[in-house]
């Protein structure tokens, strides 16, 4: 390297290091960040990146990368800490969910009449419901006929007669005949009973009734501490949830639907908002120039100070400048002075 070039290299290195010295770092950061933000404020996003590039990057890093076991462990550790936090025992539902917001959600649910009917119909169409309803009706009718007959209660002496008759029926096996007759009736008429129960449920669960049920539920849960959840789940459930959640995601992220939908949504965002500059888009997240400058100084200063003290910054500056000052053209220019 030319002697003068070596001297210039050292002077240039010291100049750059001085710019980021502790006494000058704040001013340098402010100047450079402001310069970048000035450029960003007049540069639309779609001028520096294409929708295809964004799609490729997001697909690669979001869909093509499986969550690592290390990431799962970090998430589980944080989730368990939140689950076991002492704050849960002194924080109540109504402190996190305002009653007006709860009512707004209930109102929205109650307004979906078609959805309500479809849910009721799907539940009732399940054979398990018909079997359950059949058993309930059977036991109700059997109990009524054998134990709660109003005639036995209103007519003097009829109760004793009914008991005697019941004993006689049991001894002769007539109870079995009654049960068979009830079951035969239910078998023939079960679909009509199911259809009737669907109509009754739809009529009963109107908006007014849903609000009434929701209001009762609110009064029950609003004073419950968040720690009540520990009665129904534990750390094992968090472990299970993290593992099954990752299994589900690993399947979903590889489906053509997810890939195409993500690309479609990115394209929608890009077409609607990519004509804006970076600073304007950040404003939608309540991030402005002043916040960026403050955070840059807050986080960058200790990092730069550590890089200075360790000698890393001086080493990198010298490495970058050496490539330039070692060029033959630099020596030739210096010789020509």
Q: How many domains does the chain have?
A: 3
What was the pLDDT predicted at 158? 43
How is residue 277 annotated by DSSP?
B
Same domain, yes or no: 74 and 134: no
Same domain, yes or no: 28 and 141: no
Q: CB–CB of 259/59 below 8 Å? A: yes
325 assigned to some structural domain:
yes
Determine the Cα angle at 143 with ends 139 and 145, to 5°.
120
Same domain, yes or no: 289 and 235: no
Last residue of a domain, one of 181, 207, 224: 224
HSE-up of residue 143 (Cα within 13 Å, Cβ side): 6
Residues of the chain with pLDDT below 50 are: 151-152, 155, 157-158, 161-162, 164-166, 168-169, 171-173
Distances (CA, A) of 272 to 46, 51, 98, 281, 285: 11, 12, 34, 12, 16
Task: Calculate the CA 245 to chain-centre distance.
Answer: 11
- Buried b vs exposed e over 73-110: b needs ≥16 C-beta within 10 Å? eebbeeeeeebeeeebeeebbeeeeeeeebeeebeeeb
Same domain, yes or no: 115 and 159: yes
263 assigned to some structural domain:
no
Same domain, yes or no: 109 and 194: yes
Report helix, strand or coil for 225. strand
Instruction: Mention every residue, 6+ apart, whose C-beta is less than 8 A from residue 75.
Output: 242
Question: What CA–CA distance (Å, rounded) separates 301 from 20?
Answer: 9
Question: What CA–CA distance (Å, rounded) separates 299 from 20?
Answer: 14
117 assigned to some structural domain:
yes
Q: What does residue 64 show for φ and ψ, rounded to 5 degrees?
A: -85, -10
Same domain, yes or no: 163 and 180: yes
Question: What CA–CA distance (Å, rounded) separates 5 from 323?
Answer: 11
Same domain, yes or no: 314 and 329: yes
147 assigned to some structural domain:
yes
Q: CB–CB of 178/145 below 8 Å? A: yes
104 assigned to some structural domain:
yes
Same domain, yes or no: 25 and 113: no
What was the pLDDT predicted at 168? 43
What was the pLDDT predicted at 161? 45
Tokens 């939608």 correspond to what residue?
284
Q: CB–CB of 13/306 below 8 Å? A: no
* Two structure tokens written together for 58: 């997001």
271 assigned to some structural domain:
no
What was the pLDDT predicted at 162? 46
Instruction: Mention every residue, 6+ apart, whose C-beta is less than 8 A from residue 30.
Output: 293, 297
Last residue of a domain, one of 252, 267, 296: 252
Q: CB–CB of 191/129 below 8 Å? A: no
154 assigned to some structural domain:
yes
Same domain, yes or no: 218 and 233: no
What is the span of the domain harbouring residue 27? 3-43+277-335
Same domain, yes or no: 82 and 169: no
Same domain, yes or no: 219 and 232: no
120 assigned to some structural domain:
yes
Same domain, yes or no: 219 and 233: no
């Amino acid at each position: 390297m030319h002697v003068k070039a070596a001297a210039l290299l050292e002077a240039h290195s010291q100049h750059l290091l001085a710019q980021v010295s502790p006494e000058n770092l704040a001013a340098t950061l402010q100047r450079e960040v402001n310069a970048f933000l000035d450029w960003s404020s007049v540069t639309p996003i779609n001028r520096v990146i294409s929708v295809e590039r964004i799609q490729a990057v997001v697909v690669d890093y979001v869909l093509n990368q499986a969550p690592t076991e290390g990431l799962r462990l970090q998430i589980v550790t944080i989730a368990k800490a939140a689950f076991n936090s002492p704050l849960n025992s002194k924080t109540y539902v109504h402190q996190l969910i305002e009653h007006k917001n709860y009512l707004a959600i209930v109102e929205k649910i109650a307004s979906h009449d078609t959805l309500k009917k479809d849910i009721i119909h799907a539940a009732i169409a399940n054979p398990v419901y018909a079997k359950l309803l059949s058993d309930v009706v059977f036991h109700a009718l059997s109990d009524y006929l054998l134990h709660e007959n109003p005639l036995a209660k209103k007519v003097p002496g009829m109760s004793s007669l009914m008991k005697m008759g019941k004993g006689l029926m049991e001894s002769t096996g007539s109870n079995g005949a009654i049960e068979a007759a009830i079951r035969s009736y239910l078998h023939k008429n079960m679909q009509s009973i199911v259809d009737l129960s669907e109509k009754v449920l739809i009529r009963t669960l109107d908006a007014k009734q849903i609000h009434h049920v929701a209001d009762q539920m609110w009064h029950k849960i609003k004073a419950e501490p968040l720690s009540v959840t520990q009665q129904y789940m534990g750390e094992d459930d968090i472990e299970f949830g993290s593992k099954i959640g990752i299994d589900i995601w690993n399947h979903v992220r590889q489906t053509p639907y997810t890939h195409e939908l993500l690309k479609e949504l990115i394209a929608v965002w890009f077409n609607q908002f990519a004509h804006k500059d970076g600073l304007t888009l950040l404003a939608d997240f309540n991030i402005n120039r002043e916040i960026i400058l403050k955070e840059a100084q807050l986080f960058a200063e200790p990092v730069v100070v550590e890089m200075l003290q360790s000698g890393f910054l001086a080493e990198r500056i010298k490495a970058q400048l050496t490539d330039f000052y070692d060029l033959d053209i630099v020596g030739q220019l210096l010789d020509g002075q």
